[in-house]
Amino acid sequence: MIRVPPICPTDLLAGLLDDSLPLDSRSSVTEHLDECTVCRDRLQTLAADESLWRQTRTVLSSVTDWDANPQNETRPSPADSHLRRLLPRLQPSQSPGSLGRLGDHEIESVIGLGGMGVVLKARDESLSRTVAIKMLHPHLAAGGAARRRFSREARAAAAVNHPSVVPIHAVDAEHQPPYLVMAFVPGGTLQDRIDHDGPLSVEETLRIALQITEGLAAAHGQGVVHRDVKPGNILLDHGQDRVLLSDFGLAQVLDDASLTCSGMIAGTPQYMSPEQARGETVDPRSDLFSLGGVIYTMLTGHPPFRAATPLAVLRKIETEPPRAIAAIQPQIPTWVQRLVESLQQKRAVDRPASAEQVVGLLRQCLAHVTSPQSCGVPTSLQCPSPRTTERAKALTIIVACLSLAGSIWWAWANVDSPPRDTGSKVAPSVDASVPATGADAAESAEPQPGVTPAPALLDLPPDETAWNDGLDPVLSDLKTAIDQLNVYTPATLEKEEQDVQ
């Protein structure tokens, strides 16, 4: 059964932004936002639109104190005031084109806005490098749960040192609101790339998937589960052919259950694993399910599970397989679809055991795509041909028939049947009133050691015709299986392997 967060306080979100929400309601709403991705998306839509961001530079580059100069002729519009409440008040800057200063960083532009915070592009003056600053929304910073989650993101990401994970340079958890400084990666996200160019080629998909999985393997090695693997959290380093995994905001340190809330859902619905959708405790195999969804999206241009509402998406994840990739992109090889299917098994135990195992598999796949003549498809992803399947079935029949025939022979050899007249089909009569004497009595009284007559066979009439009638069907099946096996000559097997390739 799918468990979901409580009813969303949609009518209270606008009041949270314009400071009209009562203090007693603000705490409960901010705690709800910690867990509900739907409300965070709504809050993002309410917070700013495209026209509002275009005014960012004009508003924040001004050093005028509007509150101290109420008669200023260029007093900002309501939209400008809205933006000033959304972003923290930055220190004035003397650099032309700067939005303001934050410590040693000159803020150059707004990169994006998410449900938990805003991302700024900045210049680190002390080290002369461009960085990205992720800052918690001011209205969320008042909530303790959001601040703890933000701090946990910094710890989780900083613990992972790998070329495919965005590095964290610094964290200021005491600042109001708190922020972290990370490497700036030009080029946008994987989601931006898919939206602009559509589905990717098989080779590029495998190359990107390999780097993502290597980053996940490094995170899992540190005991960290990402829990929000999606194209929007995968950055493409423009011009360097590099992929980096970012945003560990929902990461869960496996040995830290202090922030775990049973029955609550966190993450992006379209890429959740079934166990994550149920609000259960997840392990690294949950990230592998999400990885399969990302590969599916790269190949088809859209997520594997889509519906009108998040709840409907979660139900599909729980009960339905995604539409076959071949039905959307017929040119995609079957073994690629088998790769995605192995990652998106409903039960975690049916998926690959670890990200390291998937890394090895993806390397083999990429080697096959780049050099198909020298590197074959990984064995686990190969599709058996119909003839190979028939051959395996024939061998199974033969083994079963031989086993049955052996059992029958053993039972026949050990049945203590009375003597029979070979010239007649009628068994000799036995007078039960005459007692057995001598050796005959001893033989009838003592069973032969090591012989266990089959009760069912003791009831059979000692008639050879009746016995053969029961064995003939078995022998007939055995002959048919052998005839099927004879069609597989070395030439046919070689042709079959060529057809598979």
Q: Active-site residues: which are they?
A: 228
Which residues lie below 8 Å from residue 88, measured CB to CB, with a gap of 6+? Answer: 102, 135, 138, 176, 177
CA distance 48 to 54: 10
What are the two backbone dihedrals, phi and then psi, of residue 369, each rounded to the nearest 5 degrees? -70, -40
Which of 151, 142, 179, 175 shows the shortest CA–CA distance to 30? 142
Here the tokens at position 404 are: 């049955």
Answer for the pair 41, 115: CB distance below 8 angstroms, yes or no: yes
Which residues lie below 8 Å from residue 136, measured CB to CB, with a gap of 6+? Answer: 116, 117, 146, 147, 150, 177, 178, 179
The amino acid sitting at 75 is R
Residue 272 DSSP code? -
**CA dihedral (489, 491, 492, 497) positive or negative:** positive
Which of 129, 147, 149, 127 shows the shortest CA–CA distance to 139? 147
Q: Residue 387, class by beta-carbon neighbours within 10 Å (0-12 exposed, 13-18 middle, 19+ buried)?
A: middle
Answer for the pair 200, 278: CB distance below 8 angstroms, yes or no: no
What are the two backbone dihedrals, phi and then psi, of residue 415, each rounded to the nearest 5 degrees? -80, 125
User: 199-226: b or e for each residue (b if 16 or more CB lie within 10 Å)?
Assistant: bbebeebbbbbbbbbbbbbbbbebebbb
Residue 166 DSSP code? P
Q: What is the secondary structure of 37-59 as a DSSP string?
A: HHHHHHHHHHH--HHHHTTHHHH
Residue 177 DSSP code? S
CA distance 150 to 156: 10
Here the tokens at position 58 are: 């004009």
